[in-house]
Structure 1
Amino acid sequence: MKSAIIRPLLVAATLAGSFGLYSLTTKPTVAPDADNAGLKLPAGFGALVVAETGGRARHITVTPQGTIFVKLSRLKDGKGVLMLRDNGSGKATVVSGFGNYGGTGLYSNKEYLYASSDEEVFRYKLNAKGEVTNPAQPEKIVTGLINRGQHETKSITLDKEGNIYVNIGAYANTCQVKDRQKGSLGRPNCPILDSAGGIWQFRADKLNQTYGTGTRYATGLRNVVGLDWNAQANQLYVMQHGRDQLADNFPELYTTKQSAELPAECLYALKKGDNAGWPYMYYDPQQRKKMVCPEYGGDGKKEADAKYLDPAAAYPAHTAPNALLFYTGTMFPEKYRNGAFIAFHGSWNRAPEPQKGYYVVFQPFKDGKPSGDWEVFADNFAGTPEKAAAGRPDHKPCGLAQGLDGSLYVTDDKAGTVYRIVYAKK
């Protein structure tokens, strides 16, 4: 009788150790690197380098079985999706790869891994170990999406009702007659919005869907790379990449400093049919107002139509939010529960002002809505403040995922590093 009791305990302890989870005494078995992987974190947190993929690591997911998958923007050794296996210490090894396409989007649940190219969305069946069973023959969920070489990545997420949401970015800055050209005005009734510049909804269990079988869920979004379903609010949240080049296109209306600080990168809470206003407006974080874009008759003072959706929160301009994750784990302190982590890839077009970003921030939420000021959570991906200001970072955070133990995974699409952040306070 005694051995029958002890054996399950030993098995549980072994499993906890092999997956880098909690031991029977609930203490984390994952040890941070001595230098916290070079990151600056709040007190009590630590970080480690999980793996070096050698590719441009975009979005990341951890399956309910504990398997780690990473999407690469470009093929590495002919593969666009990597599978990593935890070696028991919190570190991981790339054990296989599949998918003959690059891209960004990645999502998993217990039964399927979903991944996107820049034109299609696929799903792969998972076995009981969280391994893909059909790596060479994925099922095509969505096909024929627009890719014109600008804002072409197709980020994805699912709700709890079996719907998959796909970003289709606008292949333009502000829908000008001549894209990104000085003084060029906006095209009336922007035709791009018919097939891009928004979020499309499809069924996750239906094959070979197209624009004709999908639903344009929300429009007026220039480009969304980070999106996630907020289970507490039962609502889709997205991070928009705001427009560029106000001063370049209309120097008589905007200074270079204004152009560096406008517009905000915005978090939107979406419902079906919402219109966030691109390309007709932008959000000014200083005035806290929606402003008419100069391509459509704005002058930096004229407010936009109230019909356009207000942002749920706003962040510094041009910092490129590339991942959004609602935290539901229990490893981190209570303040983080149901709040949002956002990975900012970093700016390239704030000159002559210093470049910004290259960090992961935390946005507090309460009752399913943003509540309180955001804060920088993980910093120094760039290596030094000087490298960040110059726009020459060592690493650029891109993807976020929650581990089974409640740790936070962060990818880097410059050097290909995968990080893991744990709460290590005793």
Structure 2
Amino acid sequence: MKKTVYSLSVGFGIILLTSAFFEKPFNDDPKTSKIKPDDNNGGIKLASGFGATVVSEATGKARHIKVLPNGTIYIKNSNAKDDKGITVLKDTNGDGKADETEYFGNYGGTGIDIHNGYLYASSNSEVFRYKLDVNGNVIDKKNPETVITGLPDLKQHESKPFTFDESGNIYVTIGAPSNVCQEKDRQKGSPGMNPCPLLEKNGGIWQFKADKLNQKQENGVRFATGIRNAVALDWDSNTKTLYALQHGRDMLFQHFPEMFSAEKGAELPSEEFLSVKKGDDFGWPYSYYDLDKKQMMLCPEYGGDGKKTYTKAKKPIMGFPGHWAPNDVLFYHSNQFPAKYKNGAFICFHGSWNRAPLNQAGYFVAFVPFKNGVPSGPYEVFAEDFAGGPEIKSPGDAKSRPMGLAEGPDGSLYITDSVKGKVWRVMYNK
């Protein structure tokens, strides 16, 4: 029988799921797991040989997720309500389903991770941390420490996802509150500002000290610029490299129909997979990436015509069709999955609003093989059918939208949904 400390609500800010302890916490052999896939894999379609079980049906508007070596799962939700920003779910009988619930916290946001014995979580303007005990439980739920404060929260691209390296640094996205840095945002005919003043405090990734408290933006370093908004961030421990995926700009057709057809405006600009080094400039707002041309192109607001290239920006390592909304990336390092998946990247495509007259697209989890720090082949669809059908006209029609990714201690892949907060655990069966 399920034990719930408080009733569940879609407004929760962070979800914490604690599953049963594994006999061998880092066991990557799926044959020893007692967890079996659901008959219908929780309603999704998976690559051959894989199965999924639903850990929880509804945890709120789930965003990013982290799983501890003892099986504890943390999920961050976008909204908070009634001091219930963090939810704790426990699987007390080892069946893979959450059966005990507790809540605390009072803020929403996106970022969640573990570093040096602390749970870190972000609102849209701050990064907090909570000390954990040896069992992964938060010691003081009411008084988190403030790591970073006062970050811009301008109600457009305001989420603050983050990741850690092995040298004591935390990397935080500070998205640009603009489509393409026009004098009047999203207004047809309004020119782009040159230079773009937003880049001083927005439109990039900032680096801070992970263990220093009460930092402000000026205490950090602008690690990379020219990134409109990167919700998907991951530090790959294998290559010691920061990776991100950028949400491309909108309205090429709507503002420049003489240059772009409606169909081209749906597919452009490409979503960009970035390998991020200190000092990199990826070109926003002056340029965009054209997947067909494999070139950085000059934006029309800055004198472009759909043909002029832009040479000052670093190119992505891979492009995807426009408006798929990549919202998480995970480099997979376990051994449960077949060898081709090891050290490759999984990407959650959340689906976006701006693809008319084409149908909505995205709403799936992709896999990209890697070698020597760069993609070694085309992407593959790994998990799909989240949205509930191919004829999705708007994001509001989607049954589920894949949002967050995490690697479990046994090598399982966890996926969150941002509509109701469904959580899948994907396992290899062969």
- Please give the range of the TM-score, normalised by the shorter of the 2 chains: over 0.9
Q: CA deviation at 1:26?
A: 4.3
- Does the residue aligned with 2:392 lie in a helix, a strand or coil? helix
Contact 1:53 1:94 in 2 (8 A): no
Q: Does the alignment pair 1:287 with 2:290? A: no
The one-letter amino acid of 2:52's match is: A
Distance 1:192 1:65, change over 3 A: same
Kindly report which structure 2 residues correspond to 1:119-134, keeping only aligned pairs within 5 A, or say none. 119-134=125-140
1:235 aligned partner: 241
Contact 2:124 2:158 in 1 (8 A): yes
Q: Percent identity?
A: 53
Q: Which residue among 351, 354, 358 is the counterpart of 1:349? A: 354
The one-letter amino acid of 2:159's match is: T
The one-letter amino acid of 1:179's match is: D
Q: CA deviation at 1:361?
A: 0.3
Q: Does the alignment pair 1:267 with 2:281? A: no
The one-letter amino acid of 1:240's match is: Q
Contact 2:81 2:107 in 1 (8 A): no
Q: CA deviation at 1:246?
A: 0.5
Q: CA deviation at 1:22?
A: 6.9
Aligned-CA RMSD value: 1.9
Query: Mean Cα displacement is larger for which, 131-140 or 381-390?
Result: 381-390
Write out per-residue CA displacement over residues 256-305 of structure 1, whole angstroms, 9 at most, x where no aligned residue: 11100101101100111000000000000011110000111001000002
Q: Does the alignment pair 1:27 with 2:32? A: yes
Kindly report which structure 2 residues correspond to 1:179-218, keeping only aligned pairs within 5 A, or say none. 179-218=185-224
Q: Does the alignment pair 1:61 with 2:66? A: yes
1:82 aligned partner: 87
1:44 aligned partner: 49
- In structure 2, what is the Cα distance between the partners aligned to 1:44 and 1:368? 27
- Does the residue aligned with 1:212 lie in a helix, a strand or coil? helix
- In structure 2, what is the Cα distance between the partners aligned to 1:316 and 1:177? 27
Q: CA deviation at 1:17?
A: 6.1
- In structure 2, what is the Cα distance between the partners aligned to 1:214 and 1:389? 38
The one-letter amino acid of 2:302's match is: Y
- In structure 1, what is the Cα distance between the partners aligned to 2:84 and 2:176? 27
- In structure 1, what is the Cα distance between the partners aligned to 2:393 and 2:109? 25
2:14 aligned partner: none
The one-letter amino acid of 1:246's match is: L
- In structure 1, what is the Cα distance between the partners aligned to 2:224 and 2:252? 25
Q: CA deviation at 1:200?
A: 0.3
Q: CA deviation at 1:201?
A: 0.3
1:247 aligned partner: 253
Write out per-residue CA displacement over residues 348-375 of structure 1, whole angstroms, 9 at most, x where no aligned residue: 1111111101000001001222110001
Q: CA deviation at 1:53?
A: 3.3
Kindly report which structure 2 residues correspond to 1:91-130, keeping only aligned pairs within 5 A, or say none. 91-93=97-99, 95-109=101-115, 111-130=117-136
Distance 1:18 1:160, change over 3 A: closer
2:3 aligned partner: none
1:422 aligned partner: 427
What TM-score does the superposition give when structure 1 sets the normalisation length? 0.93
- In structure 2, what is the Cα distance between the partners aligned to 1:92 and 1:202? 35
Write out per-residue CA displacement over residues 41-87 of structure 1, whole angstroms, 9 at most, x where no aligned residue: 11110011110234100111112332111111001443222222233
Contact 2:337 2:428 in 1 (8 A): yes
- In structure 1, what is the Cα distance between the partners aligned to 2:219 and 2:67? 30
1:385 aligned partner: 390
- Does the residue aligned with 2:78 lie in a helix, a strand or coil? strand
Distance 1:373 1:419, change over 3 A: same
Contact 2:21 2:70 in 1 (8 A): no
Contact 2:28 2:334 in 1 (8 A): no
The one-letter amino acid of 2:72's match is: T
- In structure 2, what is the Cα distance between the partners aligned to 1:331 and 1:86? 21
- Does the residue aligned with 2:415 lie in a helix, a strand or coil? strand
- In structure 2, what is the Cα distance between the partners aligned to 1:288 and 1:20? 41
Q: CA deviation at 1:16?
A: 2.9
What TM-score does the superposition give when structure 2 sets the normalisation length? 0.92
- In structure 2, what is the Cα distance between the partners aligned to 1:173 and 1:320? 14
Structure 1, unaligned runs of 5 or more: 1-13
Q: Does the alignment pair 1:404 with 2:409? A: yes
Contact 1:45 1:422 in 2 (8 A): yes
Q: CA deviation at 1:234?
A: 0.5
Write out per-residue CA displacement over residues 145-181 of structure 1, whole angstroms, 9 at most, x where no aligned residue: 0011000000010000110000000000000011011
Contact 2:363 2:385 in 1 (8 A): yes
1:358 aligned partner: 363
Distance 1:380 1:246, change over 3 A: same
Q: Which residue among 355, 366, 380 is the counterpart of 1:375? A: 380
